[in-house]
Amino acid sequence: MMRRALGRRRKDGIILVTEEATTCEQGSSMVQFGNMSSKKIELDHKDMVHDSAIDYYGKRLATASSDSTVKIINIGAANAPSLATLSGHYGPVWRVAWAHPKYGAILASCSYDGRVIIWKEDARGNWSQVHVFSDNKSSVNSIAWAPYEVGLCLACASSGGRISILTMRADGGWDTATIERAHPVGATAISWAPATDSIAGTGEFVYKLVSGGFDSVVKVWGFNNGSWKLESALISDMHTDCVRDVAWAPVLGLAKSTIASASQDGKVVIWTRGKDGDKWERKLMRDFGSPVWRVSWSLTGNILSIAAGGNNITLWKEGSDGQWEEVMKVET
């Protein structure tokens, strides 16, 4: 199951949920794909819905809206009741992200107000703010939790060009590391690499991030000797406008790294590298002819979901010949 909802901003506040993906799009009818079921959920947000994310167990959906709120919805129930409305932002909420359940029921949200809020649910089902990060003086556009093996660690990308990494300490406090001017004209998207071992026998993990920005550039960052450093700036003529989203694919037995990047220019580019130190190879996956808002990999890393243009949600798979084929279209 894909945990992130795909789709562009909508005023209607209707979400279509399927087993493989969720979309922030208005559906004209319910659809069936083989043995996959779909259902439409009407939300009571008072403005556009910008993002949504399903929790680890596929039972709850979090939504982010221009009405400055986050809502938690029980999609496991027949009528999908709203469980909670989280208020704490002072502007449009752009993104929401669930942490791994190893750390409890924890949700992060980011907003135009420059704040990142980390919420936690108690045993009675009540949500509270456990940390508010407000160092950014400009919109925080994207957030992503690190692989759970790394710890409770959240990366944030802001319009000021800064990437911030928030890490919870053993005492419950939070440390902050920053990459200043990561994208000087603004950072728009962030994603973590899968957790991989470093030197054999050390028990340590390699920390890597990929980011995108208003500068049309995709950048790969690595954590070495206590600080974050730029490893690669993936500059090409393939993206000619803002990078709207980036997604690092899971690694399941494949000795290579794969990143998907999506742009306002309508293009999705696939970047691959065999091992650390190798050059990143690029390939234009497809030009959709309209802005691409989201890309998301399946948990197995072999299916890529893409939300592009007006109400177009498609799933793609790479064939043995290296060509990408559309395997499903979500009619909305």
230-244 pLDDT, tens digit each = 999 998 889 999 999
Separation between Cα atoms, residue 293 and residue 5, nearest integer Å: 11
Structural domains of the chain, ranges and CATH numbers in brackets: 57-330 (2.130.10.10)
Q: What is the DSSP string of 1-31?
A: ---BEE---BSS-EEEEESS-EESS--SS--
Q: Are 238 and 201 in contact (CB under 8 A)?
A: no
Write the pLDDT tens digit of every residue in 48-66.
989 999 999 999 999 999 9
Q: Are 24 and 332 in contact (CB under 8 A)?
A: no
Separation between Cα atoms, residue 148 and residue 167, nearest integer Å: 12
Instruction: Pull the structure tokens for residue 281.
Output: 């190879």
What single-letter DSSP state applies at residue 109? E
Strand partners, 54: 61
| pLDDT score of 82 | 85
Separation between Cα atoms, residue 219 and residue 261, nearest integer Å: 11
Write the pLDDT tens digit of every residue in 268-285.
999 999 988 899 999 999
Integer Rg of the chain from CA: 19
Separation between Cα atoms, residue 232 and residue 234, nearest integer Å: 6
